[in-house]
Amino acid sequence: MSTNAKLLYCRCAYAQVVPQAVKDEVLMKLCESVAGFESVADLCEMAAHRDERLKALAANGPLRIAACYPRVVKGLFTQCGAPLSDDAEILNMRAQTADEVTAGMLCDA
């Protein structure tokens, strides 16, 4: 687990496969914290059009991401020519509870 990881929250807004209650609660908890963080509407949408920001995110230090299945998130970045570093951490809002995701995201807050 890397300290001082940059935080990224994915809203999954284009097809909403992440349960609404989980993503709302995770966002609320991030907003209750003092942490600065990045948030994007939909990592899949960004990957679909090879958004250069994925490269910027992957290149800019260790990342901790709240999105969905780690295999998918890694694959999306790789497919855009922006592979995540080995120390990237991915929290899964499709399978974990909001508390688990938040605890993982804010573990060094």
Partner 1 sequence: MITHTHRPLRLVLYEGEGAITLSAEARAKVMAALLDKGYAVTRATANGTAAMPHDDRSLLVLGLFPDQKAPVLVDSTGKVNIEARDITGLDAESVVLLVEKTRGTTPMNQPGVWKPWFPVIDYSRCTNCMQCLSFCLFDVYGVSGDGKIQVQNNDNCKTNCPACSRVCPEVAIMFPKYSAGPINGDVVSEADLGREKMKVDITSLLGGDIYARLRDRSVAAKSRFSKERSPDKALEERKKCLTKMAQDGFIPAEVLAALPSPEEIMRKAEEAKAKAAAALEA
Q: Residue numbers of the site for ligand SF4 (CB under 6 A)?
A: 10, 12, 17-18, 42-44, 67-68, 72-73, 76
> Min. distance of Cβ 25 from partner 1 in angstroms?
10
> Min. distance of Cβ 4 from partner 1 in angstroms?
9
Contact status, residue 105 vs residue 32, Cβ threshold 8 Å: no
Contact status, residue 5 vs residue 108, Cβ threshold 8 Å: yes
**If we measure between CA atoms, which residue out of 81, 82, 77 comes closest to residue 90?**
77
For 23, residues 6+ apart whose C-beta sits below 8 A from its C-beta are 11, 12, 93
CA distance 48 to 41: 13
Q: Which residues of this chain interact with partner 1, rule CB under 8 A? A: 6-8, 11, 13-15, 17, 24, 27-28, 30-32, 34-42, 44-53, 56-57, 60-61, 63, 68-76, 78-79, 94-95
Cβ-based nearer residue to ligand SF4, 34 or 72: 72
Q: Which two tokens stand for residue 94?
A: 């499709």
> Min. distance of Cβ 44 from ligand SF4 in angstroms?
3
> Min. distance of Cβ 7 from partner 1 in angstroms?
7
